[in-house]
Amino acid sequence: MSSLPETPGIQAKASPVAHGRQPDLFKSIVESLAVPLYRVDRSGALTYANARMLELLGRPLHEAIGLRASELYPAALALAYTEDDQQVMDSGLPLSRLQDYREPATGTFRQVWVSKSPVRDQQGHVVGLQGLFDDISEHLQSLHAFQLANRVLDSTQQALMITDTEGRIVRVNAAFESITGWSAPEVLGKTPQLLSSGQHSREFYQRMWEALLAQGHWEGELLNRRRDGSLFTEHISISCLRDDSDHPSHYVALFSDISDRKAAQEEIQHLAQHDALTGLPNRLLLTDRLQQAISQAERSGQRVALLFMDLDRFKEVNDVHGHQMGDLLLKQAAERIRHTLRGSDTVARLGGDEFVALLPDLHSPEEALVVGENLRQALYQPFEIGGHSLQLSASIGIASFPDDSADADDLMRCADLAMYEAKAAGRNRVQYFREELDVRARSAAQMESELRRALHERELFLEFQPQIDLATGAVASIEALVRWQHPRQGRVEPLTFIRHAEESRLIRPIGEQILDLACSARAKLRRQLPENVPIAINLSARQLSDPRFLDAFQETIERHALPGTQVELELTESALIEEMDAARNVLQRLRLLGVKVAVDDFGTGYSNLALLHRLPLSRIKIDRSFVMDLDSRRSALAIFRAICAMAHSLGLHVVAEGVEQVEQLEVIRSLGCDAAQGYALARPMDLPALQRWLKKRARSAPPKP
Ligand code: C2E
Ligand code: CA
Ligand code: CA
């Protein structure tokens, strides 16, 4: 029977190793083992336990010996042990297993590796068993932690690559494999060089390493190459790991493929900076490039030119042929402009039919003129679109840095002004920016802001000029004429500011104020004027085309309790013809209100009574220039007579404007004129003066019946 060496209290019946000094040696080895070791007999009673085992059992040897599992361990564990023991002793075969276990002494949970093997006597009969445990709790814990870490790393979307300090790859994860196309076995031991795209400079990597060594961390974007050769952009963060003695031991790189995001960003960027129709850069990108070009030209001492191009009468193409044709034409125009320029030039579309060319490196302003002329000619060639041949032209304005301005925005403004000048000079031409254009534009801008103030401070006021019926001598109408009491310049005449008001669109609010003043004046004259005498108010074309005009008009006359019959509106021929559609509409509604409409300055525009007769009009006012010519030009008499005859045949009254001499009154009356207005009869005057004038007339010269 096999037995362990003699120990105190253990009676070994026989010892297979009891030769010479050996038992002592074994005993001391076994006793000093850090592994718990024990023996039980067939009945399961403990026959031996080494020092470590006794420590675990928490009992001295003399107490432990002879005890069974049920006396040594908690019930469940004891049962498991006894079953295992029985199996070993019955089968005579060793058994090893992992056993969960709580230390009897401390209650600590442990995982132990238990090995049990049968003990036989000399005949080979199983007389007991010996067992040993190995506490592997800590190994298992770190193994689990390791497995968990691996699972985490393999499940993240971020690619992981760990290198040692020699730059050899020691670990990659699943995301690395799927992003780069390289498998772990292919890359382990290699360097990250195999991902290099060759797109970054040596300095780039140098800076990266400097940061990594200095701060222990680097983060940024890298363009790398996949296994199949394709490129991808990654966002990568690299950290340096240090060992216990603070020396770098590994580099850990985490990266994700941002190629898609990058592509989407680039797409958005492109859309934001280009015109959808022509694909040309838009204002945003142009401004950007202009700024760049200017700062570069500042360094190189060269010139930058901007060419503003506006297609002449493009609106007509849209109106006549439709927007689709208009779009096709713009595309072709864009193509021509692009072909006329060099690759380093930029051509942008600002919207509508406005294009801008940016020439970044010129030696002289004249070079820009040559390009401008080429562009003008290119755009003057007929366009073939949808079976139509369309002849267009362009007005081109040029401004250059540093000659005209050193500021990008200002340069754009200068080129724009020059373009308007080209249009005003008759279109289809190239115009270089001139200083005077700027002065004019600045004074227009100043005028606008002053008019705005005039409107708010109510600096505008009216004067009134009567029109006299030539047959009866009665007041036929009273025209309201606006004036401006400027705080510094004093009185300003309408001819100097009405045009600015029209161009800046301030004419609408100003017109409303004038209407209000005029209606208020007419209401004050209620007792002095017969009911049928209207106040005549001048209206601009811009007011006529304002969709809110009618409502505002109606609201104003109602507020002053004026019947429509006491208002007359004066519109020039050109305003009526330019806004024919709006005019017909508005005039019909005005007629329903009883409002009269007069054609002002007749004879200076198209003089087309045939066109005008379709509108509901009441009077025409023959322009002052015809009255002035009456003395000197025979033909003036004939024209005058013809206009009167024609007007009468259309049922319209005729008023002669600007009659300065009393003698003229009889002449125009004989020519068929119904009424007259002018200094010969009365000058424009303010309301109190008009009231005095009316009073005096009523006393001295009662109107003829
Ligand atoms: P208009 O409508 O033809 O007005 C007649 C102009 O001739 C007035 O000049 C008037 O003062 C002037 N005038 C009257 N009789 C004589 C005369 O015998 N000899 C001469 N040489 N001139 C005479 P004003 O007031 O300077 O107005 C000029 C223009 O300004 C007006 O021409 C009209 O087109 C515009 N205007 C005046 N007031 C208004 C207004 O309230 N609104 C708008 N939109 N335009 C106005
Ligand atoms: Ca008038
Ligand atoms: Ca007039």
Query: Could you report the per-residue pLDDT of 73-98, keeping only the tens digit for each?
Result: 888 888 888 999 999 999 999 999 88
Cα of 395 from ligand 1 centre, angstroms = 34
Higher per-residue confidence, 129 vs 436: 129
- Find out whether the beta carbon of 467 lies less than 6 Å from any atom of ligand 1: no
Q: Which of 570, 563, 568 is nearest to 531 (CA)?
A: 563
- Tell me if 114 CB under 6 Å of ligand 1: no
Q: Please state, in angstroms and as integers, the Cα–Cα distance from residue 421 to each residue in 201, 377, 431, following that order.
A: 51, 18, 7
Choose the weakest-confidence range: 27-41, 349-363, 499-513, 601-615: 601-615
- The residue whose CB lies within 8 Å of the most ligand 1 atoms, and thus the one to mutate among 538, 574, 629, is 538
Would you state the structure tokens that stand for residue 606, as one six-digit string?
């198209």
540 CA closest ligand 1 atom index: 44
Are 497 and 623 part of one and the same domain?
Answer: yes
Which of 133, 151, 169 finishes a domain?
133
> How far does the centroid of ligand 3 lie from the alpha carbon of residue 654, in Å?
12
Residue 705 lies in a domain: no
| Sequence-ordered list of residues with C-beta below 8 angstroms from that of 410, at least 6 positions apart, any chain | none
Q: What is the mean pLDDT of residues 530-546?
A: 93
Tell me whether residue 442 is in a domain: no
Q: Is 498 in the pocket of ligand 1 (CB under 6 A)?
A: yes
- Alpha carbon 361 to its chain centroid, in Å, reads 30
Is the domain of 229 the same as that of 248? yes
| Closest ligand to the CA of 536 | 2
Q: How many A from CA of 509 to the centre of ligand 3? A: 22
Tell whether 643 and 497 lie within a shared domain: yes
Kindly state whether residues 428 and 332 are assigned to the same domain.
yes
Residue 18: predicted pLDDT: 45
Please indicate whether residue 600, judged by its CB atom, sits closer than 6 Å to ligand 1: yes
588 and 618 inside one domain: yes
Indicate whether 104 pLDDT > 70: no
Q: Is 440 part of a structural domain of the chain? A: no
Q: What is the pLDDT of residue 346?
A: 95
Does 216 map to a domain?
A: yes
CATH at residue 190: 3.30.450.20
∠ CA(529), CA(533), CA(536), 5° rounding?
Answer: 115
Cα→Cα distances 698→438, 481, 530, 702, Å = 54, 23, 12, 5
Cα(600) to ligand 2 centroid in Å equals: 5
Question: Do 494 and 510 meet the contact criterion of CB atoms below 8 Å apart?
Answer: no
pLDDT confidence of residue 290 = 95
270, part of any domain: no
Domain that includes residue 129, residue range = 16-133
CATH of the domain at 540: 3.20.20.450
- Kindly state whether residues 298 and 421 are assigned to the same domain: yes
Q: In the prediction, which pLDDT does 131 show?
A: 92
Question: What pLDDT does 142 receive?
Answer: 85
Residue 124 burial by Cβ neighbours in a 10 Å radius (0-12, 13-18, 19+): exposed
Question: Would you say residue 445 lies in a domain?
Answer: no
Nearest C-alpha to atom 13 of ligand 1 is from which residue?
658
Regarding whether 304 and 228 lie in a shared domain, the answer is: no
Residues 394 and 487 in one domain: no
Q: Domain with 341 in it: what CATH number?
A: 3.30.70.270
Q: Is residue 1 part of a domain?
A: no
Same domain, 544 and 656: yes
Residue ending a domain, choose from 241, 263, 285: 263
Dmax (CA) of the chain: 169
Residues 129 and 199 in one domain: no
Last residue of a domain, one of 79, 112, 133: 133
What is the count of structural domains for the chain? Answer: 4
| Shared-domain flag, residues 546 and 570 | yes
pTM: 0.51
491 lines ligand 1 (CB under 6 A): no
Calculate how far, in angstroms, residue 660's C-alpha sits from the geometric centre of ligand 2. 16
Q: Tell me whether residue 10 is in a domain.
A: no
Tell whether 20 and 128 lie within a shared domain: yes
17-31, 451-465, 551-565: which range is least confident on average?
Answer: 17-31
